[in-house]
Amino acid sequence: MKAYRKELWFNAPERMHFTNITPEVRDCLSESDIKEGLLLVNAMHITASVFINDDESGLHHDYKKWLEKMAPHEPIEFYRHNDTGEDNADAHIKRQIMGREVVIAITAGKLDFGPWEQIFYGEFDGRRKKRVLVKIIGE
């Protein structure tokens, strides 16, 4: 069995932002030379997420509206976590809702996706450099 590991770095331009990272993950798979196995992609920060869904702007807009309704950024004083001087309690909750990671099957050297599936990095406390881990195991 072979193993591959790589960190991808992102700097989201906004506090909440979704980035399609499927091309970068495909590049990792190609570099790994693994043809059958499993691929893990996970956010390495507790205010960010990795998830799979459609790359459709209306859906991303809806996600942002829904997440902000579920865990609004303001009022900042609403959250105990922010008593420490932070202002990102909402980002921690949004990450919990959207999830930390995804696992994708690799078949014949390709991501074994359903129709329209793409991998996204979700940022909820952006405008600074953060990383995503790609780990691939297989043959």
Tens-place pLDDT, residues 44-84: 999 999 999 999 999 999 999 999 999 999 999 999 999 99
Distance CA 123, CA 130 (A): 9
Q: How far apart are CA 8 and CA 27, in angstroms?
A: 11
This prediction has a pTM of 0.96
Residue located via tokens 């072979």 = 2
What is the residue extent of each domain of the chain?
A: 2-71+86-138
Domain 2-71+86-138 fold: Jelly Rolls (2.60.120)
> What is the pLDDT, as a whole number, of residue 130?
96
Instruction: State the DSSP string of 48-98.
Output: EEEEEE---HHHHHHHHHHHHHHS-S-SGGG-GGGGGT---HHHHHHHHHH
